[in-house]
Amino acid sequence: MSDPTDDDPESTDDGPEPTDGDDAHDPTAEDAPAAREEIDADTDATRHEYDPDAEHAFPDGRLNEVLDRLESDEEVLTYLEAQNVNPVARKGYNDHGAKHVEIVRDRALRLYDLLKSGGVEFNGARQQGLDEADEPVIVALAATLHDIGHVVHRHDHPYYSIPLAADLLDDLLPSFYGVADRVRVKAEVLHAILCHHTEEQPLTLEAGVVRIADGLDMERGRSRVPYEEGGRGINTVSSQAIERVSLRQGDETPVQVVIRMNNAAGVYQVDSLLKAKMEGSLLEDRVQTIAINTHSDGQDGNGSIVDKIEL
């Protein structure tokens, strides 16, 4: 997920620690029972790990073959580990390595599946004359390779990701496609990789899915290392406030994202970082986000204040 420091290579994630405003009266406190009921009803609160044996709203055979290859490809796996050194060890940012990629890919496929269940038609593969079965392949490959540019530098990493991913795709795709189709799949994957960066505009829904999924890796585990090492910048502190993120079928939209926070600092993850990913994704009208913040009211230690944000 891109930090707001992307455009400033000299900036660091060491801003002042935000406060949660526990002593302030919250005018939304009376909404607490309804909000808690809504979040408690969200029983699908796992990380949504992709299950190749489950029923999906899309043809998954080709995707499963590609995923098997990715999980055993030594070069890809090494990149996913190496790409974490610059952002975490050298810059003190949140995780951008193999675990981040795994979460983004799983959530991208979950988001894609829900959108397909909701009747959303994707345009990337279709406009290239590719099969519907190539849509999830494009999503999965882009989610896997979107951050490998970090091996060069944190700053402008999406642009470094393009040539590196192109080389990897040249090795991967011949096992699954003829020349013409692999050129077209490669083009769509590279487009989606580039457009996870908020400075670029997605032109396909496949790219929009990857962009949003990148923003949905915001739970506290992602910032564990920088937080334990003393990092108290807004990205680290706000990520620590996010307890869980879940995706489910919406009532008014094909997808509803539910985010549970335990601290008002988490608002930054939602209203700044995720909102920037949503804008221009081509999916703004198809994905509803509800973020609920529950924390002690500071008076008797038993009550809760609930702030609710909707995107």
Please give the C-alpha separations between residue 74 and each of 9, 80, 168, in angstroms, as whole numbers: 30, 10, 11
Confidence of residue 112 (pLDDT cuts 50, 70, 90): very high
Confidence of residue 270 (pLDDT cuts 50, 70, 90): confident
Please report the domains of the chain, with CATH numbers, ordered by start residue.
29-44+55-310 (1.10.1300)
Query: Exposed/middle/buried for 212, CB within 10 Å: 0-12, 13-18, 19+?
Result: buried
Relative to beta strand 287-296, strand 255-261 is parallel
Give the model confidence (pLDDT) of 40-54 as tens digits: 444 444 557 999 999
- Residue 243, pLDDT score: 83
Relative to beta strand 304-310, strand 287-296 is antiparallel
- Residue 13, pLDDT score: 36
Q: What is the mean pLDDT of the chain?
A: 81
Q: Of 210, 206, 58, nearest to 122 (Cα)?
A: 206
Does residue 23 carry a pLDDT above 50? Answer: no
Give the model confidence (pLDDT) of 141-171 as tens digits: 999 999 999 999 999 999 999 999 999 999 9
Average of per-residue pLDDT across 125-135: 98
Length of the chain: 311
Contact 287, 255 (CB under 8 A): yes
Distance CA 311, CA 266 (A): 14
Does residue 132 carry a pLDDT above 60? Answer: yes
Distance CA 293, CA 196 (A): 27
Buried residues in 229-257 as b, exposed as e (16+ CB within 10 A): eebebbbbbbbbbbbbbbbbebeebbbbb
- Residue 294, pLDDT score: 64
- Residue 303, pLDDT score: 46
- Residue 232, pLDDT score: 47
- Residue 235, pLDDT score: 55
- Residue 263, pLDDT score: 75
Confidence of residue 233 (pLDDT cuts 50, 70, 90): low
Provide φ and ψ at 29, rounded to 5°.
-60, -30
Output 225 or 182, whichever has higher pLDDT: 182
Max CA pair span of the chain: 68
Give the model confidence (pLDDT) of 184-215 as tens digits: 999 999 999 999 999 999 999 999 999 999 99
- Residue 240, pLDDT score: 74
